[in-house]
Amino acid sequence: MRNSARTMLVAAGLVVATILSSAGALSDPVSWTPDGLFYQARSLELSGVDREASLRQTFGGPLGAELRQRDPQRSGDPAWVSYNAKFYERRVAVPLAARALDPVAGDRAILDISVAGYVAAILALFGLLLMRFRLAVAAVVSFATVFLPALSHHAGFPLTDTWGLALEIGALAAGILVLDRGPRWLPAWIACLVVLAFTRDNGWIPVVGAAGVALSLRSRDAWILAATGFAALLPAALAFGAPVRELLAMMLNGIQPAPDASWGFVASHYPGAVADFLRADGGYVRDGAWYSAAYLLGGLALLAVFTLRRERSATDTFLLAGALAAVASVFALPVFSAFRLELVCLPLAAFGLAYGLDWALERAARVDRARAPLLRLSAGRPAWGEKRP
């Protein structure tokens, strides 16, 4: 009972810390980005407004006025806006929620949902870590995540990233439960992935993790996990398609529609884009983003160290394969995003940090236990020059 009370107290502290971290976004005017305006337009479209009219109302209206001035070649160009709208069609979960919240929140609905996703992601991460680590370890890593600039900064914009992260963490937790306790946790796994498929593009990360377990350990539960995960992602892809080639070509063409959006164009421009991406991220770290870089890169490195140094369990294999998939997803779209796109690696990096912290605490405890007999012996000895009674 006392342990449950402490866990609830830590969870409450995480909620308070997350809300305080978001105080500026909740009180200041909404900072609209192109992505945010596309989600706002999608929300209007889902309420019955014509697609082109919804784009004109958002990008061409008061909400997009500042962006049109700062970014006239993209946000201020109706042709660019119309071309890019198709890449957001499938992400309907947050715009649908915004429609429900619109009578209360109005144009702030998507931002409020983003902040709620920030809270949900932190609590989901805390729960995920508690599945394998002691309360102190889970609490320290979770509080460190609350103040991770890459997460807290982007949570203050009207985006879908926080809910994409929360659902990814939920899918990872459900996947571990299936591997540990059997298929009765499959509904949670499937539900997280179905909603995630209509929210962001990172649903395949936990599915690849499940496939890695299935291929390496060949367990029945792992095969079921991988198959149901793949099936859960299909409805969104079949309903809206996946214009991957066009998206890649555009991102590799300076975020402008490529005249030749072919795989040949993608292949020829990809190496240079990777080099530019690494240089941009390196410059961003040198300019002060060391905390986010240390968290993500250090956490992934620790995950690899602690899962490769021993005989891997199903959970270790699941997380390691998922981490490889997350890193691959970052390099699949090599564009600078101030570590926003790298957030898909966060739950895997957090697990690695928790492994490292748990190891450090265990080592410190072993040193203390080894020193205890020596301290007891020295306590019974007389001081120098002092005679025993």
At 387, the pLDDT band (50, 70, 90 cuts) reads very low
Q: Using CA atoms, how far apart are residues 166 and 162, in angstroms rounded to an integer?
A: 6
At 377, the pLDDT band (50, 70, 90 cuts) reads low
Nearest one of 195, 177, 196, 183 to 227, comparing CA atoms: 183
CA atoms within 13 A on the CB side of 383: 0
Q: Check pLDDT > 80 for residue 263.
A: yes
pLDDT of residue 384: 39
- This prediction has a pTM of 0.92
Q: Check pLDDT > 80 for residue 49.
A: yes
Q: Using CA atoms, how far apart are residues 297 and 347, in angstroms rounded to an integer?
A: 12
In this prediction, residues 48-52 reach a mean pLDDT of: 92
pLDDT of residue 378: 54
Q: Are 280 and 328 in contact (CB under 8 A)?
A: no
Q: Check pLDDT > 80 for residue 368.
A: no
pLDDT of residue 132: 93
- b vs e for 220-247, b when ≥16 Cβ sit within 10 Å of the residue's Cβ? ebbbbbbebbbebbeebeeebeeeeebb
For the CA atoms of the chain, what is the radius of gyration? 24
In this prediction, residues 303-332 reach a mean pLDDT of: 91
- What does the block give as tokens for 347? 């739950």
pLDDT of residue 303: 95
pLDDT of residue 365: 78
pLDDT of residue 217: 87
Q: Are 302 and 353 in contact (CB under 8 A)?
A: yes
- What does the block give as tokens for 304? 């690899």
Identify which has the larger pLDDT, 367 or 231. 231
Average pLDDT over the chain, rounded to whole?
91
Least confident of 168-182, 183-197, 231-245: 231-245
pLDDT of residue 372: 61
Q: Check pLDDT > 50 for residue 388.
A: no
pLDDT more than 90, % of the chain = 79
Residue identified by tokens 């201020």 is 76
Q: Are 344 and 238 in contact (CB under 8 A)?
A: no
At 53, the pLDDT band (50, 70, 90 cuts) reads very high
Q: Check pLDDT > 90 for residue 231.
A: yes
pLDDT of residue 1: 53
Identify which has the larger pLDDT, 384 or 149. 149
In this prediction, residues 383-387 reach a mean pLDDT of: 44
At 75, the pLDDT band (50, 70, 90 cuts) reads very high
Q: Using CA atoms, how far apart are residues 65 and 75, in angstroms rounded to an integer?
A: 9
In this prediction, residues 3-17 reach a mean pLDDT of: 94
Identify which has the larger pLDDT, 357 or 363. 357
pLDDT more than 70, % of the chain = 94
Chain-centroid distance, C-alpha 110: 18
Distances (CA, A) of 28 to 71, 97, 105, 125, 190: 22, 22, 14, 27, 37
Q: Check pLDDT > 70 for residue 2.
A: no
Q: Check pLDDT > 60 for residue 385.
A: no
Q: Are 176 and 317 in contact (CB under 8 A)?
A: no
CA angle 305, 311, 315 (to 5 degrees): 80
Residue identified by tokens 């299936």 is 178
In this prediction, residues 322-341 reach a mean pLDDT of: 95
In this prediction, residues 269-283 reach a mean pLDDT of: 94
